[in-house]
Amino acid sequence: MYFLEKVMNSYALTNNLLLAVMFGTLIIAAGIGITFAINASTGGTDILAKILNKYSTINL
């Protein structure tokens, strides 16, 4: 956080906490959606979901 504040000169787009949470959620959801759409993995717990999907009828 210190690096981003001092070196990258970053600033908050909004001071509204609810709006910041909603924007963050949308950005992360879009990234994960794109990752799953190209049949890739983020390297986290979604690997377990992909294994379960491959050997059972459970959908991602």
pTM: 0.61
Predicted local distance difference test score (pLDDT) of residue 40: 85
Could you tell me the maximum CA-CA distance found in the chain, to the nearest angstrom? Answer: 49
**Domain coordinates of the chain in residue numbers?**
15-60
Tokens matching residue 24: 């963050």
d(CA 25, CA 11): 19
- CB atoms closer than 10 angstroms to residue 7: 8
Q: Which residue has the tokens 């959801």?
A: 29
Q: Report mean pLDDT in 10-residue bins for the chain, 60 residues.
A: 74 86 94 88 83 82
Helix/strand/coil (H, E, C) string of 23-45? Answer: HHHHHHHHHHHHHHHCCCCCCCC
